[in-house]
Amino acid sequence: MWPFKKRSPANAPGTLPHTSPGTSLSSPSSSLSLPLFFTNTLSGRKEQFASLKPGIATMYSCGFTVYSQAHIGNIRPYIFSDLIARTLEADGYHVRRVINITDVGHLVSDADEGEDKMEMGAKREGTTAEEIASRYTNLFLQDLKQMNMNLDEILFPRATHYIQEQIAMAKTLEQKGYTYRTSDGIYFDTSKFPDYGKLGGISDEALKQGSAETIHDQIALAGRTRLKEHTSEKRNPADFALWKFSPRTTKRQQEWSSPWGLGFPGWHLECSAMVRALLGDTIDIHTGGIDHIPVHHNNEIAQSEGVLGHPFVHYWMHCAFLTIDGQKISKSIGNTIYLSDITERGYHPLALRYFFLQAHYSSSLSFTWEAFAGASEALQRLWRLAANVQHESKGEAKQSGKILECQKKFIRLMHDDLATPQGVAYLWEILRDEDLSPKEKNAFLQTAEAHLGLSLLAPPESARKRKPEELPDDIQDLVRDREKARRVQDYAKSDTLREKLKNRGYLVEDSPTGPLLTLISKN
Ligand code: AMP
Ligand code: ZN
């Protein structure tokens, strides 16, 4: 059963008269009716979004390969797809979302060479591929949950549960003459698919001639790597495996019988099969990291459109890398940082979400602990302002003409291809605006939270003002000494003690009921 959200009558979708050749597209009329634009990798341009079916948007995000723990770079594309989903939902769409779990067939090289990552993980940890898959799927889902993603609204299908669908697709491609056999598998002949490489404007010809400067360096690099790994039995460098035969000499843990013999599906096929099984022949949005553009997504297009004979995705959207020292965070480079490293250092997991939002999804983002600590402090300050709004407005929101204009301005930013850095900057501006009442600010916070997912309506405990007696003994001693100094008007000493408290991570404020403290950073 699909985990559908109930829609409130206030944002019941209608139909806009927006059409494109061959298909009728529509977008719901949300209360504010502001046009929504996303950059489509297929055209390389910002395009106005309209869904295939009125009021429903379908989105598939290429998932994580569960052979080890997801690093923070792996998490970025899912926060990106979460932002898309939130924006669509705030606009009145039902969003049917799938993030697949890759638990078979992803080889060390995306060019269908090398060991299967799942078998590699199983060997490393002396257990079964099944056990590895469930261990790292659980950790991955926990990470996403900690990042404020509502997992109940998303399907997480596993590739191994869709083997028959993958075999059926490969069979259709074989019947249509797209495939050939080599000594190690059934391959897709890309020369039979004239549009091959249309995503990202990558044709193998362009890559061979070194004329790929027009596309992102990292994308071109991935494409060139594939050319280098061209095995002699492939008819064309870009050809890819639909089905790989089990090796004769060693026994694989994961293998299935098929019309071509015992083996396992090629990695790319799982997404084509699961999109079709769970969302339909043509979907609205397909997302992934930019590394998926040259190989994985061009392969998905070739397979799916080879079977269907028509486009299978309307909007392809891609998220740039999280880097360290100019290099992509990656297990193979060994520069990984995990969400658990972040929380073990005492940071709130949502500080990572805030860190991501400070950059546009299409820009690569450099992680340093220093920059991250800055983001964490900013979020704590934002939460304190939001907590004050909740307190002063008594949780009530007031819609006024003035705040409606502010909400529109914010939504326009989010509708402009998810301009999160500007959206977050505008949120700060609103919270600091002394001409807006707490109730108006609360109305704005509801709009901002719907889009950003930063827990602004229920700021975590850390943003709460505390009485000294709730804090550790040594902090209480400092507060008591400061009170004594203030009573005898020794302001120099009281300021020194305030500084000491600040160095211990607490901001002290004097209120009519005595001193109140807020945690401003971890100790
Ligand atoms: P994989 O399990 O390798 O298929 O990766 C899962 C997702 O993480 C894919 O969408 C990749 O594009 C993405 N990804 C991997 N490394 C990074 C990184 N350093 N920054 C952003 N996305 C990444
Ligand atoms: Zn995929």
* CA-atom Rg of the chain in angstroms: 26
147, 141 Cβ separation under 8 angstroms:
no
Partner residues linked to 366 by β-bridges = 323
pLDDT at 496: 94
Both 432 and 312 in one domain: the answer is no
Of the ligands numbered here, which is closest to the C-alpha atom of 333? 1
Residue 2 lies in a domain: no
In a shared domain, residues 268 and 343: no
Residue from 194, 195, 168 nearest 272 by CA: 168
Give pLDDT, residue 464.
66
Ligand 1 closest atom vs CA 66: 2
Shared-domain flag, residues 282 and 369: no
Q: Residue 363 sits in a domain of what CATH number?
A: 1.10.730.10
Helix axes 438-452, 369-392, angle to 10 degrees: 140
Which residue's alpha carbon is nearest to atom 21 within ligand 1?
321
Nearest atom, ligand 1, residue 61 CA = 10
Residue 272 lies in a domain: yes
Count of domains in the chain?
Answer: 3
Contact 246, 263 (CB under 8 A): yes
- Looking at the structure, tell me whether residues 457 and 480 fall in a common domain: no
C-alpha 268 – ligand 2 centre gap (Å): 6
498/355 same-domain check: no
Distance (Å, rounded) from C-alpha 508 to C-alpha 519? Answer: 9
Measured CA to CA, the distance from residue 457 to residue 453 in angstroms comes to 10
Q: Which ligand minimizes its atom distance to the CA of 103?
A: 1
Round to whole Å and give the CA distance between 305 and 272.
9
Identify any residues that bridge with 172 across adjacent strands, giving them in sequence order. none
Judge contact between 276 and 305, C-beta under 8 A.
no
Name which of 49, 58, 53 is nearest 95 in CA terms: 58
Same domain, 221 and 281: yes
Residues 233 and 154 in one domain: yes
Same domain, 143 and 232: yes
Residues 6+ apart with CB under 8 A from 178: 188, 189, 192, 193, 302, 306
Evaluate whether residue 80 is within a structural domain: yes
Report the distance separating Cα 320 and Cα 342, nearest Å: 21
**From the CA of 267, how far away is ligand 2's center (Å)?**
8
Residue with the two structure tokens 């997504």: 297
If asked whether residues 439 and 375 sit together in one domain, one would say yes
Query: Among 419, 445, 462, which residue terminates a domain?
Result: 462
* Ligand 1 environment, Cβ below 6 A: 62, 64-65, 73-74, 76-77, 288-289, 291-292, 321-322, 328-330
The sign of the CA dihedral 355, 358, 362, 365 is negative
**For residue 7, what pLDDT is reported?**
32
Query: Is residue 28, in this structure, part of any structural domain at all?
Result: no
**Residue 84 belongs to domain with CATH number:** 3.40.50.620
312 in Cβ contact with 305 (< 8 Å): yes
* Residue 460: DSSP 8-state: -
Domain assignment present for 300:
yes
Residue 170 has which token pair? 């490969």
324: in domain: no
What are the average pLDDT values for consecutive 10-residue runs of the chain, which has 523 residues?
A: 37 29 44 86 95 97 93 98 97 97 76 74 81 92 96 96 97 98 94 89 52 38 48 81 88 87 93 97 96 91 96 96 91 91 90 98 95 94 92 92 96 98 98 97 97 94 76 92 94 93 84 79 48
Among protein residues, the one with the nearest Cα to ligand 1's atom 5 is 64
Question: 109 alpha carbon to ligand 1 midpoint, in Å?
Answer: 14
**494 CA from centroid of ligand 1 (Å):** 51
Same domain, 428 and 381: yes
In a domain, 295, yes or no: yes
Ligand 1 atom nearest the C-alpha of 64 is 2
Residues 368 and 427 in one domain: yes
Q: Is residue 392 included in any domain, yes or no?
A: yes
Q: Say what the pLDDT of residue 122 is.
A: 76
The span from the CA of 274 to the CA of 424, in Å, is: 35
User: Looking at 258, 285, 319, which one is the last position of a domain?
Assistant: 319
Quote the pLDDT of residue 389: 93
Q: How far apart (Å, rounded) are the C-alpha atoms in residues 215 and 53? A: 32
Q: Where do the H-state alpha helices sit in 152-229? A: 163-175, 204-208, 217-228
Ligand nearest to the CA of 159: 2
Domain that holds residue 360: 339-462
Q: Does one domain contain both 298 and 261?
A: yes
Name, in order, each residue with C-beta under 8 angstroms of 309's C-beta and a sequence gap of 6 or more: none
Q: Which of 462, 480, 501 is the last residue of a domain?
A: 462
Q: Among all ligands shown, which has an atom nearest to the Cα of 286?
A: 2
